[in-house]
Amino acid sequence: EVQLEQSGTEVKKPGESLKISCKASGYNFANYWIGWVRQMSGKGLEWMGIIYPGDSETTYSPSFQDQVTISADKSLSTAYLQWSSLKASDSAMYYCVRRTFTAAAGIEYNWLDPWGQGTLVTVSS
Amino acid sequence: DIQMTQSPSSMSASVGDRVTITCRASQRLGNYLNWYQQKPGKAPEVLMYGAFNLPGGVPSRFSGSGSGTDYTLTISSLHPEDFATYYCQQSYSTPYTFGQGTKLEIK
């Protein structure tokens, strides 16, 4: 079974650093893009960025560029999302997702599945 | 970035009703449009990919249609477990943007 297991709830102070993780199992981690999605309390889903663990190619949403760093360790089948200096506005649920794809008749569709269970980050003084 | 606009933002319906949710993109998507269902306190789950393809395990009462910039998700007959929030997402190009969500509540 393909699964993404995320690290646990974090409570931090403004200015602190943080690195949360997403461990994959049940498939070849290096061959599928892994993305991160933010959901602030009571709000919608926001795309943050995505990494290809095979070669660590990474793209960020402009809204999150320079705000976070996405990385991956193939040897551990784990992707990471990190902040160097947290702000209260970073308080949210963060989900990792696998970019799953299928190809037929020359068309490759992709979608996000599975999703990790989410990591709740609270930043408060 | 491609902007995604869903309508309505919220709606109420009864068990057995037929419901349609619409998603409009700021540019043509070539059917690179996915739908997700999110229940309170849970991670989203994929409901539809490539505009009208059902992943295994998704009930056939869910269907998708559309082309170009306009897409719809239809639930033919609401079941109690369908009351949730639904999101569209374009997978045409990064950043993969989402619609703002449609909250489907019990009338």
CA nearest neighbour of A36 among A7, A61, A9: A61
pLDDT tens-place string over residues B24-74: 999 999 999 999 999 999 999 999 999 999 999 999 999 999 999 999 999
Tell whether A52 is within 8 A of chain B (Cβ).
Answer: no
Contact state of A62 with B44 under an 8 Å Cβ cutoff: no
Cα–Cα dist B104/B84, whole Å: 5
The per-residue pLDDT for range A8-56, each reduced to its tens digit, is 999 999 999 999 999 999 999 999 999 999 999 999 999 999 999 999 9
Per-residue pLDDT reduced to its tens digit, A74-104 = 999 999 999 999 999 999 999 999 999 998 7
Question: Which chain B residues are closer than 8 Å to A49 by Cβ?
Answer: 95
**A30 φ, ψ (degrees, to nearest 5):** -65, -20
Using CB atoms, pick whichever of A59, A102, A115 lies closest to residue B94.
A59
Alpha-carbon dihedral of residues B95, A8, A92, A125, nearest 10 degrees?
-130
What does the pLDDT read at residue A106? 81
* Shortest CA gap B15–chain A (Å): 25
